[in-house]
Amino acid sequence: MSAGRVRALRLLLLLVSVGIFLATGEIALRIIYRDQGARTLGGPGQRRFEHLATDGQNQRGRFDAGNKSPGKPRILVLGDSITWGQGVRDWQDTWPERVARALEASGSPHEMAVLSLPGRNIPEHLAELEYWGRRLQPDVFIYQWYVNDIEIDARRPENARWWQQQPWHEPLRQASYLYYFIESRLATYLPAPDRSYVEYILEDYAPGTLEWAEFERHFHRLASQAQALSPTRLLVIYPQVPFRDTSPLKPVQDRLTTLASSAGRLQIPPAAWIRHAGMPVASPDAPWRQAVNVPARTTGAVLETREYYLPAGGTDVHLTIAFDGSAEGPFGTLEVIDATSNDVSASFQLSAPSTSSGWQDVSVHPGWTGHPAVVRLRLSSRGATGFSVANLEMSIDYGFKVVDLTDDLNAFNTHASVFDAHPNEKAHGVMAERILEALRGAGGAPLKSGAQRVH
């Protein structure tokens, strides 16, 4: 047999072997995933995952509204697809329902209203709370947080691989289970062609950025209203799992924990200001290494914040200011602008402290005894002296008890399927147990001793 025929035969055998391999893989995967996606979240096939709902549509959880039953505290739950139970077929296996049943079994029944839906982030959670909060009058407020909640203005890296940009990619993905499986695995394990999601979050939502300040602004409004509604408030942090060593998003979760649970200050950095006058300048010793310099003889509005929620009674406002040379007496005003009418609700004179060297804390208390309000804060200069503004802060103390699930959920496989990272039934069980422990510790659910397990 000639060398050419041998090569042709070998090529033919190789092609036959590859064909057999591909056909075997396709058949095996079609057997393994014969549910066509109905029971395998995100898996191959054209069928929708079978989610059982309480109303046959989108509600997956109790929704006790109207007049409260005597002796039954009411829990309000806000969450996204994690709380909704994407990937969990029966809504009775989700963590809110497990919590409700455990409370009943312990002799401490609670009413519960679950407001959750896939895709919701903090602006949608805030809208739900503002509509339903006063109507439901909850005794316990639980907010389930995931990292995408900070993405008020999301600009995620697309990270499309070369094969995902080809015209044949999507038709082949829909037609072949084998291609679907291999492509999903490659997209999961290959390094991102651009920044990873974690890199994007840590860089674009770092402290001092407009993006992080916008999340804090929305969280402030949600947390302040929850504080006025419910004596017991839980913040449940769902982590990105699995990970090795330290959680990659631990800096974000630590920031959120401090913000939610500790008395402190809500910081509004220069990146989040609307500037009317003055010049932005680099300032290495300033809180955010930048400031706005206002020359002497500048009069009128200098900077303004976006809209912030001020609770009844108001809050202390602190400005970090450095003066050009010696300064004495009034140098400007802080005005409270009603966000609806644009009227000046209150105006406070700002005076330089007796020692005006370096960065100074200049404070006022724009408060009132009436109802809460949505306002903007405006700093104006009298022109008497030059100064630089580096930071603006409001005193806060939201009083959340934080339930960080990072260590609990990284100990086992939490994924609903190999194609989707939403929590499975076991993960929901762990969530329920940790939340029940937190309720006991916060005094929101006086369980009887021995009522430890969640079924």
pLDDT score, position 449? 35
pLDDT score, position 191? 85
pLDDT score, position 367? 58
pLDDT score, position 325? 72
pLDDT under 70 in the chain at which residues? 1, 6, 56, 327, 354-356, 366-370, 442-455
pLDDT score, position 55? 72
227 conformational bin, left if phi > 0, alpha if psi -120 to 50, beta if neither = alpha
For the domain covering 267-396, report its CATH number.
2.60.120.260
**What are the sequence ranges of the domains in the chain?**
1-34, 74-146+220-263+399-442, 267-396
pLDDT score, position 453? 42
Asked whether 205 and 211 are in contact (CB, 8 A), the reply is yes
| 109, two tokens | 């029944």
pLDDT score, position 391? 96
What CATH superfamily is the domain 74-146+220-263+399-442?
Answer: SGNH hydrolase (3.40.50.1110)
pLDDT score, position 56? 63
pLDDT score, position 452? 40
Whether 74-146+220-263+399-442 shares its CATH topology with 267-396 is answered no
pLDDT score, position 366? 62
